[in-house]
């Protein structure tokens, strides 16, 4: 008799907005042989369209509304309690627009991924597309990194680039960067679920070797 296959890693996705990245992850996770299962989608905003996308896909949802809490610590404690109930192997931040406290981040060290619309370490924080245009950069992109206590500062796993054109606007950049996000995040989540990437002392390990630079996808 064949032994039961080991259970798939359990994924919880947190999202605050439209959830196009969530959609890309849901679609990827529904492909045959995807090595993980999205068990729940959580949001800090009850009206987030991401919740609708999860419901459409019959994925369990939860809301921890940050406006109902007096402090960041109380919000994070409530979110942490909910996540402990779900007991995921990995937490995927997909447009989750809350800064998390160090205690929260430590609880999931090495098991929490974030996507950020810039080529980190450039342009941490908000309004990245606008800032890239103002600086006159010719290259822009997206980064996926392990979440550590430093905002948008954890070791970068993978990046994808786009070329910036003279006639680009923040909106046109956002659109092209998002396309790259939708390709890259499922790839990186697959690697994580397969146990190929790990947060290590000196950065990111890929197949047991420290990455000298983030993995790169390029659009040209």
Q: Which residues are catalytic?
A: 116
Please, what is the minimum distance in Å from the beta carbon of residue 97 to ligand GAR? Answer: 6
Name the minimum Å distance from CB 124 to ligand GAR: 8
Least separation, in Å, of the C-beta of 71 and ligand GAR?
A: 21
Q: Which residue is nearest to ligand GAR (CB)?
A: 95
Nearer to ligand GAR, 49 or 200 (CB): 49
Cis peptide upstream of residue 13 (ω within 30 degrees of 0): no
Q: How far is Cα 210 from Cα 220, in angstroms, rounded to an integer?
A: 26
Which of 20, 29 has the CB closer to ligand GAR? 20
Q: At what angle do helices 49-56 and 20-29 cross, to 10 degrees?
A: 20
Instruction: Select 49 or 62, whichever has its Cβ closest to ligand GAR.
Output: 49
Q: Is 41 helix (H, G, I), strand (E, B) or coil?
A: strand
Q: What angle do CA 63, 66, 68 make, to 5 degrees?
A: 95
User: CA 27 → CA 56, 59, 141, 182, 213, distances in Å?
Assistant: 12, 12, 22, 10, 28
Between residues 27 and 207, which has the closer beta carbon with respect to ligand GAR?
Answer: 27
CA distance 218 to 220: 6
Q: How far is the CB of 209 from ligand GAR (least distance, A)?
A: 27
User: Which residues here bind ligand GAR, judged by CB under 6 A?
Assistant: 15, 17-21, 94-95, 115-117, 178, 181
Helix or strand (DSSP H, E) at 63: strand 60-63
Cβ proximity to ligand GAR, 57 vs 200, nearer residue = 57
Give Cβ neighbours of residue 117 (< 8 Å, ≥ 6 apart): 128, 129, 142, 174, 177, 178, 181
CB of 54 to ligand GAR, least distance (A): 12
């Amino acid at each position: 008799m064949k032994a039961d296959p080991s259970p798939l890693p359990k994924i919880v996705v947190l999202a605050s907005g439209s959830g196009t990245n969530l959609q890309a992850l849901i679609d990827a996770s529904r492909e045959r042989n995807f090595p993980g299962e999205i068990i729940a989608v959580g949001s800090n905003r009850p009206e987030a369209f991401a919740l609708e996308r999860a419901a459409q896909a019959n994925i369990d949802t939860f809301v921890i509304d940050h406006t109902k809490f007096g402090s960041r610590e109380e919000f994070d404690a409530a979110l942490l309690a909910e996540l402990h109930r779900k007991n995921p192997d990995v937490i995927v931040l997909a447009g989750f627009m809350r800064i998390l406290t160090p205690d929260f981040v430590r609880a999931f060290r090495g098991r929490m991924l974030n996507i950020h619309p810039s080529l980190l370490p450039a342009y941490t924080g908000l309004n990245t597309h606008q800032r890239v245009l103002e600086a006159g950069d010719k290259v822009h992109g997206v980064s996926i990194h392990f979440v550590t206590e430093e905002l948008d500062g954890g070791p970068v796993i993978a990046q994808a680039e786009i070329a910036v054109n003279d006639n680009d606007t923040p909106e046109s950049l956002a659109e092209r960067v998002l396309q790259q996000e939708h390709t890259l995040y499922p790839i990186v989540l697959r690697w994580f679920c397969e146990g190929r990437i790990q947060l290590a002392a000196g950065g990111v390990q890929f197949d047991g070797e420290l990455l000298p630079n983030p993995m790169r996808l390029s659009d040209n």
